[in-house]
Structure 1
Amino acid sequence: MKKIAFLLTSIFMTASILSSAQTESKNPFGLVYGDAITENVSGKVNIHPVTYKLNGLDIAANVYTPADYDPARKYPTVVLAHPNGGVKEQTTGLYAERLAADGYITITADAAYQGASGGQPRQVDKPANRIEDIHGMADFISQYAGVDANRMGVLGICGGGGYTLKAAQGDKRFKAVATLSMFNSGEVRRNGFQNSQIATIQERLQQATAARAQEAAGAEVIYTGLAQPTDEEISKIPTDLYREGYQYYYRSHAHPNSTFKYTMSSLLDLMTFDAATNMDLINQPLLMMAGSKADTKYMTDEAFKKATNAKNKELFLLDGASHIETYWKPEYVNKAVNKLVDFFGKNL
């Protein structure tokens, strides 16, 4: 475990800039997932870039509408929350487009302070903000033409899955709750991945405290998670999550707005957060999906057991999949989408 912590920390703290060759998207909507929409065609799924205000900030989002969308009709709707460091043009965009192809209006937005959304300083990564982002998507999409606000579901992927669990505990507009490869950001920032950094919790909290004090004094904002590993460094990462994650975010599905960088002071909030608390407040139908080989599966297992009041709850495993493979690999995406369509179809 100490080896894991050392290797990951050394990579995270390597500061550099992504090359334009890795980050530029040729898709007119900036989408980087496979077979993405390139133009809006009548009679097919369409994408609608939108902006709206949330607590004074401009939020950038994409709304997907089904084929032959008629604003006079009413459609079931799904809100999607993206992974940590991710943006709406990556895996949540893929799942949003696929669900739209099955008749749902969907929305996925960049988190406040991240991506194309507003907020200063950049890359603040606080749980309260991410949870509010999910409520904000529900606020906006509830007023969108064609949306049946009484048939609204939510899907969170990775870190967005953890924040989705928290949002759904209180927000009963979400009639059905789903997660994919749920990542408990607070647990990992506090204990380290697979509990590899428990011995340094107080030291890291002190660093975060000092960073907050520095910000408050008007000095330079300190960031962590800066990285641009080489192919050789990536190949040596011992965990599937981070090895495949770097390949996904910095190679195959890179986007200029997507970064693991976040303010050091955010750790004050992250390290005292836990997505798996108060799970008994979820009384909606609950579907939690994870790869059977995912090294993050323990987080889904922990939260699922605590959802004692969820209706018709189900843990669905994607056989053979790792965490990152559920983001993009067709055989796993197809299985996950089919399961989501069945789940939302029964519960919305």
Structure 2
Amino acid sequence: MKKIKSILIATLMATSIISSAQSNSNNPLGLVYGDAITENISGKVNIHPVTYKLNGIDIAANVYTPANYNSSKEYPAVVVAHPNGGIKEQTAGLYAQRLAEAGYITIAADAAYQGASGGEPRHTDNPAYRTEDIRGMADYISQYPGIDTHRLGALGICGGGGYTLKAVQSDKRFKAVATLSMFNSGEVRRNGFQNSQLSTIQERLKKASEARAKQANGEIIYAGVASVTDEEIAKTPKGLYREGYEYYYRTHAHPNSTFLYTMSSLLDLMTWDATANMDLIEQPLLIIAGSEADTKYMTDEAFAKATNAKNKDLFVVDGATHIQTYWKPEYVDQIVAKLVNFYNNNIK
């Protein structure tokens, strides 16, 4: 039996976390975002849980169909890639549902090795796999009844945004591309958040190498956070990580969502960069970030490098932080309006 070891926080879930998860679990479909579908009603947006194989791994996804969906008609489609640590029932599902309300067939899938999808070891965060997840969503939704394969768009959120930028560099099935609060996982794992760990790159690569050696012998070493107490949240500086703990472990908690990733994943993450070869993106590109997001520097870097993208647009949501773009209605409404206009102009 594999030994599991968490190198950071491995405490039991606090009572407040359990209570939050229970309050969110009232949705019979397991969705933990505001105004989520609770049942399929004729003539309304419907949700369809599906599974499919991707490179031998079972992928769990939700497909959203527009109101009065008719499989004999043709619809544009958008694939939605979830954030690091996230799953399809959280913000990826929110935006998939809102785009379905605007007439798009959408799909949000749990990444391989994460959420309800298969794959071992659990919580592997390999950028090649995450990029392949996006292509896999395109494979599946392109065969869905009523899809016009010439009108396929992509939306990536947080880490899913970085992986989406990489996927569309080569996969030209995607005719329009958008990211929200883009997070360049390779840059952050290599350099540290806001370039705060430049002096420890080689040390961390050695730890990742050691973790790979132990993994070969059946011991899985994890980095990240398994759970967090109220006291630990209070001590975390304001910004991405504090708001992230509150979102993932309190207000939008789901048992399949975790901040853990295998330490060995750093071998791939630290040598990868979402913004390498950005000049290969020739599709229309919309990049969205909050004006108060401490991750915005990654969005700015990506936008500047997208020199060949058509109709390139940077939309800054005034007053929003990174995590607030996931759920806060006043910001979500602005973002959805911008996304719908973008997709309508480019694939609808």
Tell me, yes or no, whether TM beats 0.5.
yes
**What does residue range 179-258 of structure 1 map to in structure 2 within 5 Å?**
179-216=179-216, 218-258=217-257
- Displacement, 1:179? 0.1
Aligned to 2:27: 27
Equivalent-residue separation in structure 1 for 2:93 and 2:18 (angstroms)? 22
Q: Which moved more, 1:330-339 or 1:238-247?
A: 238-247
Q: Percent identity?
A: 73
Aligned to 1:290: 289
* 8 Å contact kept, 1:12–1:227: no
Query: Which secondary structure does the structure 2 equivalent of 1:58 belong to?
Result: strand
Q: Does residue 16 of the first structure (1) align with residue 15 of the second (2)?
A: no
* 8 Å contact kept, 1:191–1:197: yes
**What does residue range 132-211 of structure 1 map to in structure 2 within 5 Å?**
132-211=132-211
**What does residue range 320-331 of structure 1 map to in structure 2 within 5 Å?**
320-331=319-330
Aligned to 1:120: 120
Equivalent-residue separation in structure 2 for 1:247 and 1:145 (angstroms)? 39
* 8 Å contact kept, 1:77–1:105: yes
- Displacement, 1:12? 7.8
- Displacement, 1:233? 2.0
Query: Which secondary structure does the structure 2 equivalent of 1:222 belong to?
Result: strand
Query: Which secondary structure does the structure 1 equivalent of 2:12 belong to?
Result: coil
Aligned to 2:3: none
Q: Which amino acid aligns with 1:291?
A: G
Query: Are residues 232 and 12 of structure 1, via their aligned partners in 2, closer, same or farther at CA, if it must alter by over 3 Å?
Result: farther
Query: Which secondary structure does the structure 1 equivalent of 2:48 belong to?
Result: strand
Q: Which amino acid aligns with 1:252?
A: T
Aligned to 1:345: 344
Aligned to 2:84: 84
- Displacement, 1:224? 1.0
Equivalent-residue separation in structure 2 for 1:310 and 1:259 (angstroms)? 34
| Deviation digits for residues 116-138 of structure 1 (CA, Å, limit 9, x no counterpart) | 00001111110000000000000
Q: Which amino acid aligns with 1:87?
A: I
**What does residue range 8-87 of structure 1 map to in structure 2 within 5 Å?**
13-18=8-13, 20-24=18-22, 25-87=25-87
* 8 Å contact kept, 2:75–2:146: yes
Aligned to 1:307: 306
Q: Could you state the TM-score of these two structures normalised by the residue count of structure 2?
A: 0.95
Q: How many residues align?
A: 337
Unaligned 5+ segments in structure 2 are 1-5
Cα RMSD for the two superposed structures: 1.2
